[in-house]
Chains A and B, each alone.
Chain A
Amino acid sequence: MVRRRHRPGLAGLAGVALVAPLLALVVRAFADEWRSPALLPQRFGLRGVRIALGADTGSAFANSAEVALLTVVAALVIAWPAARVLGERRLRHPAPVFLLLAMPLLVPSYAVGTGLTEWFIRLGLDGTTLGLVAAHLTVVLPYVTLVLLAGFGPRLTAIEEMGSVSGLPPLRRLRLVTIPAAAPTVAAAALLGFLVSWSDYGSSLAIGAGRPMLPVVLLPFVGSDPQVAATLAVVFLAPATAALVFTVRAGRRPL
């Protein structure tokens, strides 16, 4: 087989073109004065930070983080056994289960939120953490299950069997064999689930009952005040970046 030399040119250029625009956000966030047609800001400052801090940002950040973390934990716990069954192809007719899991990916999240609103008002769950987690779980669970099942196949089963043959009791086998072997997949599922919940606008708006969530707080500033929008966007991006770094590190963990 003839191996060609890598040509980073075109694809590399596309990659740089995709990443570079994001960097302007950071400059805009700290540009108190940036009038057209100047390419660089006339004055740097913390106006954006001051206004953003006064716009429910702290509580919105805390609410979004709390809901996203709880949703991911719940999704991982619920999805794990389902993904094992589906990944190991133990089901004779898996199509209906896949169909059920795929449906929320095809339906607008605002539709899910709107549909749940009346029930949640009756149950006193609208605007609560539990209500938001339940609404986000509807959208996050399919993603987490589908990512997890890709890592749960014959290879993992074979490694676990080797652990059993070596005399490891079930709990130690889970800790020493299963979890390390599945860590990259679990990390990827957790990242995706976190990001889906963190950036969900539709069901947060429908179920939130005015409770500040970061996407809901950010949107009005996009048209009205670009500096505050950029500041909030940097805040919005921070946990996503942290989650990505965490996932890459978890994914590199040796078997």
Chain B
Amino acid sequence: MLAPAVLVMLVLFGGAMAGAVRTSVTPLGGHAGAGAWSTLLHDSEFHDAVAFTLRTAVLSTGLAALLAVLVALAARRSGTVVRALLAAPVPVPHLLVATVAVLWLAPGGLAERILGGLPFDVVHDRAGAGVVLVYIYKEVPFLVVLLLSAMGQGYRERDEAAAAVGVSPAQRLRWVLWPTIRGPLVVGCIVVFAYVAGAFEVPLALGPSYPPTVAEYALQRSDADLISGPSVAAAALLVSAAASIVLAALAVRAAKDPQGG
């Protein structure tokens, strides 16, 4: 019964990865070689793209996780309406949120009109603040949904029992809350990090013209040079994919290790 799903994933995903590897070592009409990889690894724009992508992904994931824990703690006893409002942005596409962000945060946007000015640029700014804000807006509700589903009746009873025997609030966070939310929070953060590191519609809409994210870099290379560009693009995307997979493996391992939590 597993065969259809496994076969589809092996053929399509395996085929995609094999295709990406093949494209990275075989330029259009050329001979197989590691030229694209060499170009990629010596390109300072790629180095900047990696640094910018990592910074954006770490900031977005870290801030979204922190805010999600705070919001979930505040909302753990809330009713259906509040929970529905908090979950509302989950089905909204990222690109749509980017459109809303431009409407509100661009120079002359609604936020500037209401507040009389913003303290710093958040659209197309070099630091990528607009990109991070969009991801926080999108990913906090996603993580809150995961956390609230873990913080059900069982958590409430354990927390109240701990409070009844005199465990301090800080100790309850350490010994009751953290073991309850560690699993879903880590899984959610892995999904968020991988998405932020690999998607390019939000950076294209809101990000700086330089540096690009790794995915934007790949798109630019594909468009700029139809002969060798796709090979460099495929190599860049494979680096991004490999990094996400390795980081996810490390995160899962840390989450499983009781000493690591």
Give the interface of A toward B (CB within 8 A): 1-2, 4, 6-8, 10-12, 14-16, 18-19, 21-22, 24-25, 28, 36-39, 78-79, 81-82, 84-86, 91, 97, 100-119, 134-135, 137-138, 141-142, 145, 191, 195, 198-199, 201-202, 205, 215, 218-219, 222-223, 226, 229-230, 233, 236-237, 240-241, 243-244
CB distance from B233 to the nearest CB of A (A): 6
Contact partner, A233, options B12, B100, B204, B215, Cβ 8 Å? B100
**Which bracket fits the contact residues of B?**
35 or more
When distances are taken between beta carbons in the complex, the residues of chain B under 8 Å from A117 are 19, 23
A226 touches B85 (CB 8 A): no
Give A35's nearest chain B residue, CB to CB.
B108
With A201-B95, A202-B200: A118-B71 Cβ-Cβ less than 8 Å: no
B104 touches A21 (CB 8 A): yes
A115 touches B93 (CB 8 A): no
Most chain A CB neighbours (cut-off 10 Å) among B5, B13, B71, B238: B5
Complex Cα gap A14–B75 (Å)? 9
Complex Cα gap A145–B79 (Å)? 29
**What are 9 A-B residue pairs whose CB atoms fall within 8 Å in the complex?**
A7-B78, A103-B13, A106-B190, A113-B16, A119-B19, A134-B12, A138-B12, A198-B93, A237-B92
When distances are taken between beta carbons in the complex, the residues of chain A under 8 Å from B79 are 6, 8
Contact partner, A105, options B17, B141, B191, Cβ 8 Å? B191
Contact partner, B12, options A28, A137, A145, Cβ 8 Å? A137
B170 interfacial by beta-carbon distance below 8 Å: no
With A12-B78, A111-B240: A219-B204 Cβ-Cβ less than 8 Å: yes
B71 touches A14 (CB 8 A): yes
When distances are taken between beta carbons in the complex, the residues of chain A under 8 Å from B96 are 25, 199, 233, 236-237
List the 9 shortest-distance A-B pairs measured between CB atoms, nearest first: A15-B85, A108-B198, A199-B93, A115-B16, A115-B20, A11-B75, A82-B5, A115-B19, A81-B1
B189 interfacial by beta-carbon distance below 8 Å: no
Interface of A is mostly: helix
CB distance from A224 to the nearest CB of B (A): 11
Complex Cα gap A229–B106 (Å)? 14
A11 touches B82 (CB 8 A): yes
Interface of B is mostly: helix
B22 interfacial by beta-carbon distance below 8 Å: yes
B173 interfacial by beta-carbon distance below 8 Å: no
CB distance from B66 to the nearest CB of A (A): 14
CB distance from A183 to the nearest CB of B (A): 19
Which residues 183-231 of B have a CB within 8 angstroms of A?
A: 190-191, 194, 197-201, 204-205, 215, 218-219, 222, 230
CB distance from A19 to the nearest CB of B (A): 5
CB distance from B187 to the nearest CB of A (A): 9
When distances are taken between beta carbons in the complex, the residues of chain B under 8 Å from A115 are 15-21, 23, 234
Given contacts A15-B84, A102-B248, A240-B92, 8 further A-B contacts (CB under 8 A): A8-B82, A25-B103, A82-B1, A85-B2, A110-B237, A111-B20, A134-B12, A137-B12
Complex Cα gap A59–B34 (Å)? 41
B82 touches A15 (CB 8 A): yes
Most chain B CB neighbours (cut-off 10 Å) among A10, A85, A86, A198: A10
When distances are taken between beta carbons in the complex, the residues of chain B under 8 Å from A198 are 93
Which residues 58-103 of B have a CB within 8 angstroms of A?
A: 71, 74-75, 77-79, 81-82, 84-86, 88-89, 91-96, 98-100, 102-103
B113 touches A38 (CB 8 A): yes
CB distance from A64 to the nearest CB of B (A): 11
A36 touches B2 (CB 8 A): no
Digit string of B124-143 for contact with A (CB within 8 Å is 1, else 0)? 00000000000001001100
A108 touches B241 (CB 8 A): yes
B114 interfacial by beta-carbon distance below 8 Å: yes
B240 touches A25 (CB 8 A): no
B20 touches A114 (CB 8 A): yes
B22 touches A201 (CB 8 A): no
B103 touches A199 (CB 8 A): no
With A108-B199, A118-B22: A22-B100 Cβ-Cβ less than 8 Å: yes
CB distance from A109 to the nearest CB of B (A): 7
